[in-house]
Amino acid sequence: MRSFSIVFAALTLAAAFVEAGTDVRREIRLPEVPGYRLVRYDPHMHTVFSDGQVWPTHRVDEAWRDGMDALSITEHIEHRPHLRDIPADHNRSYQVALPRAKALGLMLIRGAEITRPLPAGHYNAVFLDDAAPLATPRFEDAARAAVSQGAFVFWNHPGYPHPDGVARWYQVQTRLLQAGHLHGIEIVNGRRYYPGAHRWCLEKKLTMLGSSDLHLPRQVDDNLDDGRRPWTLVFAEGRGMEAIKRALFARRTVVVGADGRLFGEKKYLSPLFERSIEIVQPQPVPRNRSWTYIQIRNRTSLRFDLALDPPAHLQAPARVNIPPERIVRIPVRCARSSSGETRAASVPVTITNMRVDPEHGLGEKISIQAACARGPSTPAR
């Protein structure tokens, strides 16, 4: 027996080094928005404790690397394909992951996924105290068990598992909403965006969420495009998990898709854009028809796709994409030679990848210094 205890002493050392490597985090840079702390939250993912393929601490490591501030591991209550090998209770995955989250300074918010056949579908409950009571035959009882703990409940991937991928609102959702047991909907899950659910959130005053729903390791998960993770940007008032919870119930979220689209209300999208970009113009646009360059600096990890609608006296490209943490230059010139004085021209732009509803991008304006005469223009060509 003594030889065995020696074995394990040596192994503890070895294992410690395996666990304790250096690692790299890529922060998600966001602007300062007065009055709020912006929290990067991924509220939906799985491990080997339900139908995922990785150990719970690995989800914490992935979230840390990806710049998240908060995450929820949400094992299926009803779907446990590894149950024969992993017969743990419904809170175990959280317990395994928690020390790693604390050591890394991440907020791990306890959650679980209620996983029922249509017409109910799948729902995450987050801010749980105990996931066990959700394992109950009737769906309504499971939702009630979550809400009775003060949990925030949202409908996951509402177009799945419909074969056509289209979200449908049934009576069960109406009952849930009326009972106060439904607080939000995933309008983005992995690579999929659900425009119908986006509309429901606006109409029914539900919180918009986006999540990765990871099952495989993040780099190879086939629910993601190129392994990029969607997430929920939470406008918290103050620090800590309680502030996140209050913000979720108050619908203060913007959803960030894996493809860089942003979905939310104008009051949240607008400051994100305005405080992310800065216009730099080395020279005013001259009277003659030479090109000059407007430079737009994007200080953040967000992308902005602009559709420009320049006034008749200015020529500029119709579409410009501004990648994260880059400066883009936009060629501008007068539509005709003229004798104008340099003054500011206001150019309406639509940020086409910031969606205030499924059909409309965010409208803004940018200002350009130009000496172009504003009178009736002869055609530029």
Which residues within the stretch 38-67 sit at the binding site for its own copies (CB under 8 A)? 48-49, 51-55, 57-58, 64-65
Residues between 209 and 228 with contacts to its own copies, criterion CB under 8 A: 215-217, 219-220, 222
| Distance (Å, whole) CA 260 – CA 321 | 11
Residues between 250 and 289 with contacts to its own copies, criterion CB under 8 A: 280, 282-283
Residue from 38, 86, 98, 373 binding its own copies (CB under 8 A): 86
Residue from 88, 172, 177, 312 binding its own copies (CB under 8 A): 88
Q: How many residues bind its own copies (CB under 8 A)?
A: 86
Matching residue, tokens 């009051």: 267
Residues pairing with 153 in the sheet:
125
| Residue 338 within binding range of its own copies, rule CB under 8 A | no
**Contact assessment for residue 71 and residue 47, using Cβ atoms and an 8 Å cutoff:** no
- The candidate with the shortest Cα–Cα distance to 286, out of 338, 328, 331, is 338
- The candidate with the shortest Cα–Cα distance to 155, out of 215, 196, 191, 94, is 196
Alpha carbon 359 to chain centroid distance? 19
Residues between 15 and 34 with contacts to its own copies, criterion CB under 8 A: 15-16, 18-27
- The candidate with the shortest Cα–Cα distance to 169, out of 119, 113, 116, 117, is 119
CB of 53: closest distance to its own copies in angstroms?
4
Of 32 and 222, nearer to its own copies (C-beta) is 222
183's tokens: 């607080």
Residue from 37, 91, 92, 169 binding its own copies (CB under 8 A): 92
Residues between 124 and 153 with contacts to its own copies, criterion CB under 8 A: 137-139
CB of 143: closest distance to its own copies in angstroms?
14
Candidates 171-179, 241-249, 320-328, 334-342: pick the segment binding its own copies (CB under 8 A).
320-328
| Residue 10 within binding range of its own copies, rule CB under 8 A | yes
- The candidate with the shortest Cα–Cα distance to 138, out of 163, 117, 158, is 117
Residue from 73, 96, 255, 334 binding its own copies (CB under 8 A): 96
| Distance (Å, whole) CA 226 – CA 103 | 29
Residue from 98, 243, 328, 366 binding its own copies (CB under 8 A): 328
Torsion 304-307-309-315 (CA) sign: positive
For 232, phi then psi, to 5°, come to -115, 125
Candidates 81-89, 144-152, 187-195, 363-371: pick the segment binding its own copies (CB under 8 A).
81-89
Cis amide bond preceding 119, omega within 30:
yes
CB of 153: closest distance to its own copies in angstroms?
18
Give residues with Cβ within 8 angstroms of 294, minimum separation 6. 279, 280, 281, 316, 329, 330, 332, 366, 368
CB of 280: closest distance to its own copies in angstroms?
7
Q: Which of left, alpha, beta for 180 (phi over 0: left; psi -120 to 50: alpha)?
A: left
| Residue 171 within binding range of its own copies, rule CB under 8 A | no
E strand or H helix at 16 = helix 2-19
CB of 265: closest distance to its own copies in angstroms?
30
CB of 300: closest distance to its own copies in angstroms?
12
Residue from 115, 207, 212, 300 binding its own copies (CB under 8 A): 115
Residues between 191 and 210 with contacts to its own copies, criterion CB under 8 A: none
Q: Pairing relation of β-strands 37-42 and 70-71?
A: parallel
Alpha carbon 161 to chain centroid distance? 22
Residue from 35, 85, 171, 378 binding its own copies (CB under 8 A): 85
Candidates 35-43, 73-81, 178-186, 352-360: pick the segment binding its own copies (CB under 8 A).
73-81
Residue from 168, 291, 343, 375 binding its own copies (CB under 8 A): 291
